[in-house]
Amino acid sequence: MAERFTKSMARNIYLGGSTFFILLFLGLTFDTMQAMPERDNRENLTESVANGKLLWEENNCLGCHSLFGEGAYFAPELGNVFQRRGMGNEEAFVGYFKGWMNAMPTNVPGRRQMPQFNLNDQELEDLAAFLIYANGINTNDWPPNVEG
Amino acid sequence: MKFQSQSAAMPYFIFALALFVGQIVFGLIIGLQYVVGDFLFPEIPFNVARMVHTNLLIVWLLFGFMGAAYYLVPEEAETELYSTKLAWALFWIFAAAGTLTIIGYLAVPYATLAEITGNGLLPTMGREFLEMPTITKVGVVIVALGFLFNIGMTVLKGRKTVINIVLITGLLGLALFFLFSFYNPHNLALDKYFWWWVVHLWVEGVWELIMGAILAFVLIKVTGVDREVIEKWLYIIIAMALITGIIGTGHHFFWIGPPEYWHYLGSIFSALEPIPFFMMTVFAFNMVSRRRREHPNRAATLWALGCAVMAFLGAGVWGFLHTLAPVNYYTHGTQVTAAHGHMAFYGAYVMIVITMISYSMPIMRGRPNGNSRQAQVLEMWSFWLMTIAMVFITLFLTAAGILQVWMQRIPESGQALSFMATQDNIALFYWLREISGVIFFIGLLTYIASFFVKGDAVEVAES
């Protein structure tokens, strides 16, 4: 049995198998890209949102938080923070968000601390807009509840 | 050492181990910040320390892979390295760029680092594991191209073995997929989709090729089993790794925007992903039991076997535990993910690099039969300390994760505990993890110490 299974057969499985699955993956990616406009909330992707995303990245927010479950698990999930803290009201959320960011760090001894990032009013609005936009992406009903 | 130029591996290995020590120190810092939230705040906030912890891991493993290639490729190709000078030059460039990047993380706020390194021109920063500044990313590409050129030319002028070809394919894939780190669209869902092309297709794709090639090389050396047999295994293992791993990327597409059919594809193929790791375990034990000689470097054999087992447990079993979509719905982004990440990286990639170092370093230091018995005993102690500590880190984080799901995820909105309240409730497990982390660190220091033990030269055992 072992002798009948030769090295060249093993190599062919490797070459054929990987080629097939790479092509399949590319095909599925193409199909996913066709489906994305219906799902990724791109109609609400404004300049403010784009700037908010840049601020999110340049302050390394996911070094503590997660976004759609990805990032660090040191601080709360923010993919649905608009829903959790704004209850669907954009104005209320932006107000809450600004107050929160400006109050950091809390300096409660022993508690996890969020740094003060010194963002200006416009920047805070952009960052809030980014989180509102993220909340609008279709994540197949994840997370299971509002706590993220 | 058969070829002089193989010693180019040495600086890579030494620097890799230095970075490994740094990685664990920062791991201990963030582990403590989980329970003493304001530890070192505001000097080293959690996000900075965490970035150093994960980035050092990636960079030291890359140094390890490069060192492994510099040692392994000339010996397999039966020729000197194409250019030893280039290997050394790239070492200094990469070491300097890596060190500057870490200093940058620690010295200035991340936003300042982004600004002074041109993130505005080409934004690539601030995404998990791809935090390094854009100019560092460009530097990595340059180093990778030089490295691949050097390795490729060596193989071209020498013997082309299966191990060499597989290793180079893996390294090429590594470089190719890294290019996706430069793609960062405003569209968050697309950003995340292609971000996984680097992260998943590295660790669950091309890195497995590199790992398989190194493992096969070391097993040939320490067991003396016929190359034909080992090469056949290597082909089948990497075939299974790619067949399951490529579509297995789908288990990351469940909750970030892509369509629902990924739930089925991702679940089915990730259920198959333990297979290549299981085969690796069977392969390693099979080869060692069929060995034709008792290699005097028993520590290296222990690392090779341990690597195969721990990779199967961490990447295979712990990965499978939570990749089925209905389970992942609850466990995604909890401490269960962290548990899996720790054991998978340690088992598969940390241990394969240490296996290679353990095998090749004594030879490069003029001890063809391996280190002295005393040094090996200490090294085997370090193996057990680190490995058992990692098992406990994984178990404690898994327990924390399960409780987290129970309190925060399963109850309906309104009934569920908030994230921070949940964290307070599972603090005990974070303390236990931290203690395990300290033991891991002691194990690592023991490993480093074993390099400095002299002792009697080892006799070659009769075959």
Question: How confident is the model over B239-284, as pLDDT tens digits?
Answer: 999 999 999 999 999 999 999 999 999 999 999 999 999 999 999 9
**For residue A2, what pLDDT is reported?**
54
User: Which residue, among A22, A45, A58, would best test binding to B if mutated, counting the most B CBs under 10 Å from its CB?
Assistant: A58
What residue type is assigned to position B92 of the chain? W
Per DSSP, the three-state class of A4 is coil
Euclidean distance between CA atoms B107 and B112, whole angstroms = 10
Q: How confident is residue A88, by pLDDT bands cut at 50, 70 and 90?
A: confident
Where on the phi/psi map is residue A60: left (φ > 0), alpha (ψ -120 to 50), or beta?
left
For A14, the closest chain B residue by CA position comes to B239
pLDDT for A48 beyond 70: yes
pLDDT computed for residue B457 by the predictor = 80
Q: How far is A40 from chain B (nearest CA, A)?
A: 6
Would you place residue A87 in the very low, low, confident or very high pLDDT band (cuts 50, 70, 90)? confident
> How many Cβ atoms from other residues are within 10 Å of residue B411's Cβ?
14
Q: Report the distance separating Cα B384 and Cα B419, nearest Å.
A: 35
Residues of B in contact with A60 (CB under 8 A): 47-48, 51, 110, 125-126, 131
User: In chain B, which residues have their Cβ closer than 8 Å to the Cβ of A45?
Assistant: 186-187
pLDDT level of residue B1 (50, 70, 90 thresholds): confident
pLDDT at B460: 67
Cα angle B10-B84-B59, degrees, rounded to a multiple of 5: 50
Rounded to the nearest integer, the mean pLDDT of chain B is: 96
What does the pLDDT look like over B173-201, one tens digit per residue?
999 999 999 999 999 999 999 999 999 99
Q: Is B140 a residue whose pLDDT tops 70?
A: yes
pLDDT per residue over B311-341, tens digit each?
999 999 999 999 999 999 999 999 999 999 9
Tell me: pLDDT of B82 over 60.
Answer: yes
* Main-chain dihedrals φ then ψ at residue A71, nearest 5 degrees: 130, -145
Burial group, residue A26, by CB count within 10 angstroms (0-12, 13-18, 19+): exposed
Give mean pLDDT, residues A15-33.
98
Rounded Cα gap, residues B163 and B214, in angstroms: 8
Does residue B142 have a pLDDT over 60? yes
Residues of B in contact with A27 (CB under 8 A): none
Write down the pLDDT at residue A3.
Answer: 66
pLDDT digit string, tens, across residues A62-84: 999 999 999 999 999 999 999 99
Is B389 in contact with B347 (CB distance < 8 Å)? no
**What is the C-alpha R_g of chain A?**
22
Fill in the DSSP letter of residue B82: S
pLDDT in tens, A97-145: 999 999 999 999 999 999 999 999 999 999 999 999 999 999 999 999 9
- Per-residue confidence band for B463, with pLDDT thresholds at 50, 70 and 90: very low
Q: What is the pLDDT of residues B21-32, one digit of tens each?
A: 999 999 999 999
Q: pLDDT tier at B455 (50, 70, 90 boundaries)? A: confident
% pLDDT > 90, chain A? 95
Q: Is A53 on the interface with B (CB under 8 A)?
A: yes
SS3 B325: helix
Strand ranges (E), chain A: 66-67, 70-71
Q: Does any CB of chain B come closer than 8 Å to the CB of residue A27?
A: no
Rounded to 10 degrees, the C-alpha dihedral A98/A100/A106/A110 comes to: -140
Query: Does the beta carbon of A131 lie under 8 angstroms from any beta carbon of chain B?
Result: no
| B77 pLDDT higher than 70 | yes
Buried b / exposed e along B360-379 (16+ C-beta atoms within 10 A): bbbbbeebeebbbbebbebb
Angle at B165 between CA B164 and CA B170, to 5 degrees: 100
- A133 CB neighbours in chain B (<8 A) are 188
Chain B partners of A61 at a C-beta cutoff of 8 Å? Answer: 47, 126
